Amino acid sequence: MTDNNALLQQFGVSEREIDQAIGLVKIPEVDDADLYFEHSISDSVSMEEGIVKKASKHISQGVGVRATAGEKTGYAYTDEITLDQMRIAAKTAKYIARSPGDGTAVATSARTPVARSLYPVNTPATEIATKEKVDLLQKIDAIARGYDPRIKNVMASFATENKMVMVASSEGWVVGDVQPLSRLQVTCIAEDGGVRQMGSFGGGGRSEFSFFFEETRFEHYAKEAARQSIVALNAVPAPAGTMDVVLGPGWPGILLHEAIGHGLEADFNRKKTSTFTDRIGQKVASPLCTVVDDGTIPWRRGSLNMDDEGTPTGRTVLIEDGILRGYITDRLNARLMGIPLTGNGRRESFMSMPMPRMTNTFMLAGESDPEDIIRSVKHGLYAVSFGGGQVDITNGMFVFSASEAYLIEDGKVTTPVKDATLIGNGPEVLTRVSMVGNDLRLDEGIGTCGKDGQSVPVGVGLPTIKVDGMTVGGTDQA
């Protein structure tokens, strides 16, 4: 968190001007109102074939004004932070929100903002010279090419952002935060005998530039991307059919995020469009499964001192021993549903309305040894990493492509396969989890989540798990 006086100075506003703008919005017909100020500096540099292809820097600033009345939300924003522009935005938001509604909102007590620092960065990466970033990308290029002569092309990029935000609530408090974020990504193209394959790896978080040099992280990213592309050269067509599937630790948690996490966001459940609607207290997964959303893990990509409504983030148990315990909420949906506020109100920028979104979502570790999980499978698939996928929130159906996967034969991981897809229903898949490993791992820090046209950084995680009888799409019949 940061000092309010410094925030007010940064945005060039006074407490009196904020009170005036809030006063224009908060009338008896309006249940809740706030101002969201944002100043963001972002830059990126990318390299391909040893040449810098693109370098950019972007600065944005603005304020969004929100008013809610019942289920209605009025929102307006301006990129000019002046009292006159805030007044116009405030009047617009109020006009939209005060239109006739049912007025059945349930009052909930607000959480008082608290001071904490999950990512105390002294020098944000946006202040590091472009030359140092280019030098890093050149080192990555050399390491990846040196991994194997079949590596024919390397693409690497470094993107960073430093965002200062401030939220002023109609309840009388003002709170803010400075949020750094960096991501390093490496992609390698391997070629052999006319066959070309790609491997990609990266990482990051809310950290300083030095993070990528600690424990030779950037070397690990380069070698891992190269390794994946070489492994893919020898991959055979994936089998198709119903089989046991083992999901590896870490990034495969993206399946959990997409297939289950979105269905636990409160807006979908308030509107009764989620497969988890009205199922609090019911069994929705194997008793081996406990799923949490935690925005308080230091340095993580999905972590925040506060969400974009000024509420401190928290650790929310969503599923406990297979029983659905709660939803992910923002202020609006917590108030309307009369359920706890979890600190998950997030938005892409000042031009966007907040909505309930995940932070770092993962399954807790179990008791099984990962090697025992593999040994328990006679014939199946071991999925290590995933690419794209599609999910239908209303019924939980999903399709995910595995970017790195292997056959499991007689309890051993054997041949790499390509073009494998996992098909199923999120809640049903959770009921088929028969073993959970003791090796919980969070992803490297690359996740970005999209919802209603807004993108926000997130984290995922998973221990090794076994799912019985899962549908695998491929080109060879199992």
> Residue 476 above 90 pLDDT?
no
pLDDT at 104: 39
pLDDT in tens, 60-96: 999 999 999 999 999 999 999 999 999 999 999 999 9
Q: Binning pLDDT at 50, 70 and 90, where does residue 110 land? A: very low
The 10s digit of each residue's pLDDT in 242-251 is 999 999 999 9
Taking residues 418-443, what's their average pLDDT?
Answer: 95
Q: Is the pLDDT of residue 128 over 70?
A: yes
Q: What is the pLDDT of residues 301-319, one digit of tens each?
A: 999 999 999 999 999 999 9
pLDDT confidence of residue 259: 86
Q: Are 130 and 245 within one domain?
A: no
Band the pLDDT of 44: cuts 50, 70, 90.
very high
Give mean pLDDT, residues 464-468. Answer: 98
Say what the pLDDT of residue 377 is.
98
Does residue 138 have a pLDDT over 70? yes
Range of lowest pLDDT (1-10, 218-227, 289-298): 1-10
What type of residue is 15? Answer: E
Lowest mean pLDDT among 107-116, 185-194, 381-390, 453-462: 107-116
Given a cut of 60, is residue 217 above it in pLDDT? yes
204 with 103, same domain: the answer is yes
Model confidence band, residue 394 (pLDDT cutoffs 50, 70, 90): confident
Q: What is the mean pLDDT of residues 196-208?
A: 96
Return the pLDDT at 58: 97
Categorize the per-residue pLDDT at 157 as very low, low, confident or very high, splitting at 50, 70 and 90: very high
Query: Of 186, 209, 233, which residue is a domain's last?
Result: 233
> What pTM did the predictor assign?
0.94
Per-residue pLDDT at 393: 82
pLDDT attached to residue 389? 77
Distance CA 474, CA 478 (A): 9
Q: Give percent above pLDDT 90 in the chain.
A: 86
Q: Are 275 and 259 in contact (CB under 8 A)?
A: no
Q: Are residues 290 and 336 in the same domain?
A: yes
pLDDT at 273 over 80: yes
* Distance (Å) of CA 25 to CA 30, 89, 185, 347, 397: 7, 9, 43, 20, 41
pLDDT for the residue 281: 97
pLDDT at 115 over 80: no
Q: Which residues contact 137 (CB under 8 A, 6 or more apart)?
A: 45, 46, 47, 52, 156, 157, 158
Pair (165, 30) in one structural domain: yes
**Do 215 and 327 belong together in one domain?**
no
**Does 196 lie in the same domain as 289?**
no
Q: Which residues of 44-82 are buried (b: 16+ CB within 10 A; e: fewer)?
A: bbbbbeeeeeeeeeeeebbbbbbbbbbbbbbbbbbeebe
Domain that holds residue 298: 237-477
Q: Do residues 227 and 249 share a domain?
A: no
Give the least confident one: 38-47, 222-231, 424-433.
Answer: 424-433
User: What's the mean pLDDT in 425-448?
Assistant: 95
Angle between helix axes 15-25 and 83-97 (nearest 10 degrees) is 20
State whether 447 and 356 are in the same domain. yes
- Does the pLDDT value for residue 37 go beyond 50? yes
Question: What's the rounded Cα separation, in Å, for the pair 232 and 359?
Answer: 31
| Mean pLDDT score of the chain | 93
Instruction: Determine the pLDDT at residue 477.
Output: 52
Closest CA to 32 of 79, 78, 65: 65
Domain boundary among 205, 233, 261: 233
For residues 206 and 111, membership in a common domain is answered with: yes
Domain identity same for 207 and 279: no
Residue 328: pLDDT above 90? Answer: yes
Give the count of domains, the chain: 2
Q: Are residues 54 and 154 in the same domain?
A: yes
Q: Which residue has the tokens 């430093």?
A: 162
Given a cut of 80, is residue 408 above it in pLDDT?
yes
**Residues 161 and 280 reside in one and the same domain:** no
CATH code for the domain of 156? 3.30.2290.10
Residue after which a domain boundary falls, among 198, 233, 268:
233
